[in-house]
Chains A and B, each alone.
Chain A
Amino acid sequence: MGWLPSWLGGSGGESKPTPQVTSDGGVQAPNRRDRARCWEARDAYFKCLDKHNILDSMGPGAADAKAKCPVEDTEFEKNCASSWVKYFREWRVAEYKKQERLRMIEAENAKAQAQR
């Protein structure tokens, strides 16, 4: 599985990546190519979630997300470190709430403007 990012240890499937430890005791970070691959998998996964109207892919929504987007879910988990996967899932919900709040504020502003 040579195409897998080095920090995944070349092992695919469900097994979690074994981080590559450098000779001075550090842990090698994903490089630019690894990041691009992870972001690509994430975007494909989120697009699928959008299609099925799923916002939260954690907790109660996890099973539904997995059932509707099995391929994308697996690719996402495979190409991103688990801390990143968790971060991006949370980010998706937070970002939606943020946009929702912005829309609300804008709508209120528009209403106030119209009343004036």
Chain B
Amino acid sequence: MPRPAPSVASTARALRPGGATRRAFDNSNPILRRPAPPDESRQLYHSSSRTISNRAVFQAPTPVFAGAQREFVSCRNVQRGNFSTSQRRCRAFKTVQEADSRHRGGGPFSWKAGLIFIITGACLSIYFQAEKARMERKRIAEHTKGVGKPKVGGPFNLIDTNGKPFTHENLKGKYSLIYFGFTHCPDICPDELDKMATMYDLVKQNMGNVIRPVFISADPARDTPQVLRTYLDEFHPEFIGLTGEYEEVKATCKAYRVYFSTPEGVKPGQDYLVDHSIYFYLMDPEGDFVEVLGRNFTAEQAAKVIMDHIKDWKGPLDKN
């Protein structure tokens, strides 16, 4: 005994394009939006209207997935003829829900595939950007390492705030952040030294004791060890202050490409200013120049640049 044929009403439900399929291929979704149905599909609904009285069928010809259309077509054709004989062939997609679930799982643009695609893309993009930034830092850091490259920095022979000799050798083992200035500086140096203190604290907090903050005076006539110590203590007691003989200071400034305009042989009572470059110099633990940081950096930004360089460092690093 064959199963009873589906009623006209249920067929109409199955064929109604605004049923479950509308949810799956909603026009409001830009990814799934499809062009208006071609005349062919419109024709399809019209022909079916002869057997199905429900007007909703051709009232709203919402575009449906091409595959689903085909399934409905085959169903419709046989149903139009003889219900009792066509019933078996039509059973595979008896309802919209069935057809819908079939296509929802098997389509080439499922939401899972889309999600994986987006996540993979995002991961790759983040990775490449991080790698690009790393290579850029490496390029900057190794710029002066090669042969025949312009060197910034180099040997110097100065004295620290205790009056003890301090040379380029004393900078090795740790990174160093060097600033040139003079204690009688009217406005820029004090601001920059406050910034330097913040930078130093941030780096020390995050990376440990791996960097030396160094202030080199470009005005040796007035900036003696005692003057430097009193001055620097106001910014950070751990700042290293360097000064020395006029010729030694001049040579140091030249090695670091710092503009040096200090007049020679000034008397203690004289009141004058010194022009100097206003950059922070970052040097690596081997004493090689890494990068300059200008006034355009905030303390936080500069600290980040420094920490990124330190993280890239593969050689030995003194943390004591």
Contacts and interface: CB of A to CB of B under 8 A. Distances in A.
Contacts of B186: 38, 80, 83-84, 87-88
Interface in A16-73: 16, 18-19, 21-32, 35, 38-39
Nearest to B266: A27
B187 A28 contact: no
Interface string A74-86: 0000001111100
B234 A27 contact: no
B218 to A, nearest CB: 13
A26 B227 contact: yes
A29 B183 contact: yes
A83 B187 contact: no
A115 to B, nearest CB: 31
Contact of B268 (A16, A25, A84): A25
Interface residues of B, number: 22
Given A19-B271, A83-B272, A87-B273, A28 B234 contact: no
Nearest to A21: B268
A82 B268 CA distance: 15
Interface string B216-249: 0000011111111011001000000000000000
Interface residues of A, number: 25
Nearest to B227: A26
Contact of B184 (A22, A24, A29, A32): A29
A24 B225 contact: yes
A19 B269 contact: yes
A55 B184 CA distance: 26
Contact of B269 (A18, A31, A83, A88): A18
A25 B163 CA distance: 13
Given A27-B268, A82-B271, A83-B271, A35 B190 contact: yes
Contacts of B231: 29, 31
A84 B183 CA distance: 12
B268 A28 contact: no
Contacts of B230: 28-29, 31
A52 B273 CA distance: 29
Contacts of B225: 24, 26
Contacts of A27: 184, 221-222, 227, 268-269
Contacts of B226: 22-24, 26
A21 B266 CA distance: 14
A27 B273 CA distance: 13
A30 B185 CA distance: 9
Contacts of A39: 187
A14 B187 CA distance: 23
Given A19-B271, A82-B271, A87-B273, A26 B184 contact: no
9 contacts: A19-B271, A24-B227, A27-B222, A27-B269, A29-B184, A29-B223, A38-B186, A80-B186, A83-B186
Interface of B: 163, 183-184, 186-187, 190, 221-228, 230-231, 234, 268-269, 271-273
- Of all A-B residue pairs in the complex, the 8 with the closest CB atoms, nearest first, are A26-B224, A29-B183, A26-B227, A27-B222, A24-B224, A22-B226, A83-B271, A84-B186
